Amino acid sequence: MAGSDNGALGTTFKVVRILQGVSLVAIIGMAAYFISQMVSNNNAPSDVIVGTLSVTCIAVLYCAITYILYVDNILPFLISTGMDSMLLIALVVVAVVVGKPLSYLNCRVIGSSSVSQSTYQLGLELKKSFSKEGSQVQYSNWIGASRVTCYEMKAIWGLSIALCVLFAFSAICSVCLWRHSKAAAPKSVEA
């Protein structure tokens, strides 16, 4: 693979970016599925899920672009550090907002059923909860609708926390790579 030769630090940066991408794509898939379920029941999706999807879509695009720029040896490390820090803040907000009601929820006590039954249960819960078409799904009520939904939301929460660690780590790697590139840059000779 082409790219700059930054040793273990460069390899670490690439591995962290790949892990970020995989985690982000998993969150996007689960959040999009939840939004699809809510919309199919003629309800407006929860702001929490829409916000999570928005942040993760931006982050996965950023990860792909910075990975390509790094491999081509044209990534501005200082800007990358700032962007990683901003995405870290956004993902901390996502983890806190998603996790606040989930931390009190025990998924094992929610009725045991298969995935198809859980989807059916979720549909029934949504229909019972919202007699008026177009009403917005309340996140705190929705996460307890089925065991599968609860576990999937806890997976999103866990991946969000993992992404916080990964983005903090990639920001640190970016700073170190920036310092390494500054130290390795040839000094100009004035006559």
Instruction: Tell me the DSSP string of 36-71.
Output: HHHHHTT-BPPHHHHHHHHHHHHHHHHHHHHHHHHH
- Type of residue at 37: Q
Q: Which residues, listed in sequence order, are joined to residue 136 by a DSSP beta bridge?
A: 44
Task: Give the pLDDT score at 103.
Answer: 84
Per-residue pLDDT, 31: 94
Residue 123: per-residue pLDDT = 58
Neighbours of 136 (CB within 10 A): 12
Residue-level pLDDT at 147:
83
The rounded radius of gyration (Å) of the Cα atoms in the chain is: 21
Beta bridge partners of 176: none
Q: What's the confidence (pLDDT) of residue 29?
A: 96
- Residue 69 is predicted with a pLDDT of 95
Q: What is the mean pLDDT of each run of 10 residues along the chain (191 residues)?
A: 72 96 97 90 87 96 96 93 97 94 83 56 56 66 79 94 97 93 71 52
The string of DSSP codes covering the chain is --S---HHHHHHHHHHHHHHHHHHHHHHHHHHHHHHHHHHTT-BPPHHHHHHHHHHHHHHHHHHHHHHHHHTT---HHHHHHHHHHHHHHHHHHHHHHHHHHTT--GGGS----HHHHHHHHHHHHHHH--STTPBPPHHHHTTS-HHHHHHHHHHHHHHHHHHHHHHHHHHHHHHHHHHHHHHSPPP---
Q: What does the pLDDT read at residue 164?
A: 97
Residue 44, beta-bridge partner list: 136
Residue 122: per-residue pLDDT:
55
Residue 109: Cβ-neighbour burial (10 angstroms; 0-12, 13-18, 19+) = exposed
